[in-house]
Structure 1
Amino acid sequence: MATEAPETRIVDSYRVACDGGEGALGHPRVYLQIPRETGFVECPYCDAKLVHKDHQSTN
């Protein structure tokens, strides 16, 4: 069985929250800061990659 690739989400803010997006099957909500240098951050729970809209073409 193949493992699905982590989700990539484009966001409008450099301060974001992630809760896994699956309601009761998600994970605790965490607040993450996207570094302006890199333009993205990965959630430590679900490995989702959150990319700021100003950096989406470079990642």
Structure 2
Amino acid sequence: MTTQAPETKIVDSYRISCDGGEGALGHPRVWLQISNEHGWVECPYCDAKYIHKDHADSVDT
């Protein structure tokens, strides 16, 4: 059995929310802040990686 890699999303805001995206099977909504220094943040629940569009070319996906 293989484990799927966490989802990566390009976003246009530095403050985003994540709820797991699976309705009742998701997780509590959390608000995440993307730092200007790194340009990305990972959700502590589902490990989804959010990359700000201004940093999309410089961050490894």
TM-score, normalised by the number of residues in structure 1: 0.98
Cα distance in 1 between the residues matched to 2:22 and 2:56: 24
3-state SS, counterpart of residue 5 of structure 1: coil
1:7 maps onto 2:20 in alignment: no
Gaps of 5+ in 1: none
Root-mean-square deviation over aligned CA pairs? 0.4
Identity rate, percent: 73
Question: Given residue 32 of structure 1, which amino acid in structure 2 is its aligned partner?
Answer: L
Matches within 5 A, 1:1-59: 1-59=1-59
How many residue pairs align between the two structures? 59
Gaps of 5+ in 2: none
